[in-house]
Amino acid sequence: MKILLLASLVSLFACGCHAAPIPADDILAFVRTKLPDEPIKLTGTLKVREKNGFTSDSLPVEMDLDWGAEAPVAEYRIDHETLNITWNNEQPSYRFSNEENTPSSTILGTGLTWADLSFSVLWWPNSQLIDEEKKINRECYVVDVPVPDSKNTMRLWIEKKMGMLLEAQTLDAKKKQIGRLKIKSIKKMDGMWVAKDLELLDKKTGSKTTLQITDLKWKNPQPTAAAFDSAESVNQLTFEIYQKLAAESEGNLFLSPYSISSALAMVYGGARGETAEQINSTFRFGGQGATHPAFSYLRKRLNRIEEKGEVQLSVANALWPQVDYKFLPDYLAMTKEYYGSEIEAIDYKADADAARKKINRWVEGKTNDRIKDLIPAGMLDPLTRLVLANAIYFKGDWASQFKAEATHDVPFILEPGKTVDVPMMSQTGDFNFSYNKTFQTLKLPYEGDDLSMLLLLPTSSDGLPALEKDLTLELVNSLQFNKQEIMVFLPKFKLESEFSLASTLAAMGMPLAFSKGADLSGMDGSKNLFIGAVVHKAFVEVNEEGTEAAAATAVGIRTTSMPLMFEANRPFLFLIRENSTGAILFIGRVTDPSK
């Protein structure tokens, strides 16, 4: 099964392969996706209470768990005995300190088995969905799982939305209950919900064994939303992906790193294991717990700018799942909570082209008709299972507009010895300006002073390749600006760019997501999905009034004698930033304004 993933200034989409009622094995896989990706250590106590209420045993418990490793591992220590489990291709391998033990052995006579402690039942095969009913007022799947090498059966009650195991009963060959394991209470420890008290009832003896978890520690400290800066991660991506695309293509170039990051952050929310690690590293995300709240904050910050009414700046996300395909409720809820996603089921199997046209209309509407036909004919087919789209639209007036009567055709140097006449805007005013021996930088604010455009102009007419090679976030952050009177000459231009980013992103460090070994089980509880393609499309127009669709610029007007000159009559770079966070929303280069 594959996912086609479409990302641009406006969108990202994914597709898969089949739709069927969720089988019991997939329900267990769904529960496994809820296990933490990062290594943790749990400590607690195992207590046995006799039928008369007296405590007969109290044993220390330690659990070292790393379910997110490429080959997941877990170590359980009860008093002086241990169990080590390694999973290869989801098949558990057991190693006991006491060689006489098996997964079904009771632990030091407590009545609790090693299988109970390790929740091995989640990996046992041949499960069956037998019913759906409520348990402690929550809708649950009821699943029967045969106990390996036994005539017994484990009956599980699994909460539908959170994937939490609420109760497990052990049944004999006649389906008579001989034991019951249930969660008595849950508690949030260090940002993670934990089954704090588990109680096992032995029907024969009436004794109760209770596992009480008292502490949780992350072996690798978890990043927090406060520690992770989504704007910083977008900015770090900006220059790496720009340099790769600039090296692969000629001519004008324009893209939205913010849109690409936002779209892939939604995909990252459904990634697990090494796939998630590669996406996290490539995009400089901050882990599942921190990334999504931080992107939510940045999205809301950008949308609040539009509410002020001085510029148009809107960010929108949408998901179109296949109408009868079972995506995990938690995944859809995550995209809605943190990315404000609109979610509308659509039927690709019945008419993929009608679905394509509907999604394209949404994109056109969110971008004021500037991005058309984002999804080309033939890209969607009956195997499509999900389309994700991110749309960003910007239209802003310069803080000081250029006067139309001051615009004249002048030569623009394409390369040494070759020019083309282009409409060149001009005005003089006080602007933030920086320069060194190799390039000048001008900052032009938009109305409202929430966004600005940075123009990076090489000193020589053939200096753009060297500037692109040296371009880094550190270089841009190190620029020292002084407000000076500047005579500005800036060409009018209109750019549209489209890229296929799959190979670029794979080369940047996330190849697994584009292979059949991808793990996007956080989306649907299976490992059947992978990214097939990533496409990015962006549009920008700069004129005397300001910028539409993707760019930021600002200029102040005031004329005095002999000002400095910023004359963009040769190839240059530009980027558009949100001022308070520094987030780079767009970046581009102009090599020929006439095209």
Give 313-358 pLDDT, tens digit per residue.
Answer: 877 788 888 888 888 888 888 888 888 888 888 898 899 899 889 9
For tokens 């340099």, what's the residue?
243
Candidate from 26-35, 216-225, 367-376 with smallest mean pLDDT: 216-225
Is residue 75 within 8 A of residue 67, CB to CB? The reply is no
In whole angstroms, what is the distance from residue 210 CA to residue 197 CA? 7
> Residue 53's pLDDT is what?
60
For range 32-36, the mean pLDDT: 76
- Residues 383, 15 contacting (CB under 8 angstroms): yes
Quote the Cα angle for 283-284-290, to 5°: 110
Return the half-sphere exposure (C-beta side, CA atoms, 13 A cut-off) of residue 13.
25
Cα four-point dihedral sign 134, 135, 137, 138: negative
Chain Cα centroid distance, residue 392: 17
End-to-end CA distance of the chain: 41
- Using alpha carbons, select from 2, 1, 3, 13 the residue that is nearest to residue 537: 13
- Of the ranges 5-14, 311-320, 389-398, 419-428, which one carries the lowest mean pLDDT score? 5-14
- The residues that bridge with 165 in the sheet, in sequence order, are 158
Q: Which residues of 160-182 are buried (b: 16+ CB within 10 A; e: fewer)?
A: eeebbbbbbbbbeeeeeeebbbb
Do 352 and 386 contact (CB within 8 A), yes or no?
Answer: no
pLDDT in tens, 544-594: 886 543 321 111 111 223 457 789 899 999 999 998 889 999 999 999 998
Residue 14: Cβ-neighbour burial (10 angstroms; 0-12, 13-18, 19+)? buried
H/E element, 512: none
Mean pLDDT of 461-484: 91
Phi, psi of 475 (to 5 degrees): -65, -45
Q: pLDDT value at position 15?
A: 39
Tokens of 122: 């989640």
Place of tokens 């998901």: 319
User: Can you tell me the distance from the alpha carbon of 588 to that of 585, in angstroms, rounded to the nearest whole number?
Assistant: 11
Domains of the chain, by residue range, sit at: 39-218, 404-494+541-590
Token pair for 365: 């509407």
- Please report which helix (H) or strand (E) contains residue 74, including its range: strand 73-78
Element (H, E) at 548: strand 546-548
Rg (the chain; Cα; Å): 29
Let me know: does 136 contact 230? Beta carbons within 8 Å.
Answer: no
What number of CA atoms fall less than 13 Å from residue 274's CA on the CB side? Answer: 13
The answer to whether the CB of 391 falls within 8 A of the CB of 10 is yes
Task: Name the phi and psi angles at 234, rounded to 5.
Answer: -60, -45
pLDDT at 420 (0 to 100): 94
Angle at 168 between CA 166 and CA 169, to 5 degrees: 145
Taking residue 557's Cβ as centre, other Cβ atoms within 10 Å add up to 16
* DSSP, residue by residue, 290-348: HHHHHHHHHHHHHHHHHHTTSSEEEEEEEEEEBTT----HHHHHHHHHHH--EE--B-T
pLDDT given for residue 259 in this prediction: 87
Q: Which CATH architecture has domain 404-494+541-590?
A: Roll (2.30)
Find residue 73's DSSP bridge partners: 66, 86
Which residue carries 């992350």 as its tokens?
A: 218
pLDDT, one tens digit per residue, over 261-318 is 988 998 899 999 999 999 999 999 998 888 998 998 888 888 888 887 888 887 778 8
| Number of residues that make up the chain | 595
Handedness of CA 115, 121, 123, 125 (dihedral sign): positive
Taking only the tens place, the pLDDT of each residue in 162-200 is: 778 888 888 999 999 888 888 777 666 665 667 777 888
Residue 159's identity, in one-letter code, is E
Structure confidence by residue, pLDDT tens digits, 512-536? 888 888 888 898 888 877 776 677 7
User: CATH homologous superfamily of domain 39-218?
Assistant: Lipoprotein localisation LolA/LolB/LppX (2.50.20.10)
Specify the pLDDT at position 499: 81
Q: What is the pLDDT of residues 236-245, one digit of tens each?
A: 999 999 999 9
Nearest partner of 491 among 432, 540, 562, judged by Cα: 540
Specify the pairing of strand 312-321 against strand 342-343: parallel
Round to whole Å and give the CA distance between 309 and 298: 18
CB within 8 A of 474, min separation 6: which ones?
Answer: none
Strand partners, 549: none
